[in-house]
């Protein structure tokens, strides 16, 4: 008896995320963590599904005790020098996001980009860039190539558009939170006391 196709696709996604993690730069990750630790306040943003990742990351930073905001929310205060803007953008070129990133740099804020495009518009002005590679690998085996094409969204039945980037970005963001917990000696109960209690 074979597994359900959904379970197989979940395993494919997990395997792809492991491959991407193996190829990420330790130096880029360390630089990103340093930007967060040295920031007065942290702002996050992204468009579409990347924006949802940005919101989730800001929430976890708040749980850790960082002062974190989501760009575009009504309670988000004015950015100042010494603050950092973290942008999640697969393309690194979404116009609305790039415009805001340029504004943040003009204010004197620091800029971090989580992306799959090294030479993008936002990457060119960022202080810190973390590359989450999402291009498909060359595969000799035709059946494996078919599965990877599905993963990359070239076949529309599974993982369309930027799904692999966004899913990997979410896992990366949660891994950063785990690392920050270690660095700051934050305990799970410390996070719990900041968790929403009026839901």
Residue 189 among the catalytic residues: no
Written as one string, the DSSP assignment of 67-121 is -EEETT-TTPPPP-TT-EEEEE-SSS--HHHHHHHHHHHHHT-EEEEEES-TTST
If we measure between CA atoms, which residue out of 136, 115, 134, 135 comes closest to residue 124? 115
**Active-site entry in 8, 142, 166, 199:** 166
Tell me the β-bridge partners of 154.
none
Residue 174's alpha-carbon distances to 57, 121, 122, 181, in angstroms, are: 7, 26, 23, 11
Where in the sequence numbering do the catalytic residues fall?
A: 166
């Amino acid at each position: 008896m074979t597994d359900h196709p959904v379970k197989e696709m979940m395993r494919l996604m997990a395997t792809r995320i492991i491959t991407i993690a193996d190829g990420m730069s330790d130096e880029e990750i360390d630089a990103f963590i340093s930007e967060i630790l040295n920031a007065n306040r942290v702002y996050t943003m992204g468009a579409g599904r990347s924006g949802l990742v940005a919101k989730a990351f800001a929430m976890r930073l708040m749980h850790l005790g960082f002062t974190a905001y989501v760009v575009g929310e009504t309670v988000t205060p004015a950015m100042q020098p010494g603050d950092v803007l973290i942008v999640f953008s697969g393309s690194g070129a979404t116009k609305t996001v790039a415009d805001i990133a340029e504004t943040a740099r003009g204010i004197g804020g620091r800029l971090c980009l989580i992306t799959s495009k090294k030479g993008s518009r936002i990457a060119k002005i960022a202080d810190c860039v973390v590359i989450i590679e999402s291009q498909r690998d060359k595969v000799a085996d035709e059946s494996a190539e078919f599965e990877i094409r599905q993963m990359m969204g070239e076949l529309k039945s599974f993982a369309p558009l930027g799904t692999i980037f966004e899913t990997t970005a979410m896992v990366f963001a949660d891994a950063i939170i785990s690392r920050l917990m270690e660095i700051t000696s934050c305990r799970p109960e410390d996070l719990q006391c900041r968790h929403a209690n009026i839901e």
